[in-house]
Amino acid sequence: MNCHANKSIECTVSQCAYHCSDANFCSLDRILVGTHEANPTQDQCTDCMSFRKK
């Protein structure tokens, strides 16, 4: 698989089209992180908005 792992972005979401399946890194140059909460209080409140289904 030809995946350019961005060593600055670790990720374990293997279901994402941008995930390097042989290593836990994202292949994008940059990602957008957001939230689905009005008032985020913990890590579970944040989301990778760059996620795309494989």
How many residues form the binding site for ligand SF4 (CB under 6 A)? 12
Q: What's the rounded Cα separation, in Å, for the pair 9 and 11? A: 6
Of 17 and 40, which has the nearer Cβ to ligand SF4?
A: 17
Ramachandran angles phi, psi of 15, nearest 5°: -80, -5
Among 11, 37, 41, 44, which residue interacts with ligand SF4 (rule: CB under 6 A)? 11
Q: How far is the CB of 41 from ligand SF4 (least distance, A)?
A: 21
For residue 44, the minimal CB distance to ligand SF4 (Å) is 15
Nearest CA-CA partner of 22 in 1, 46, 43, 6? 1
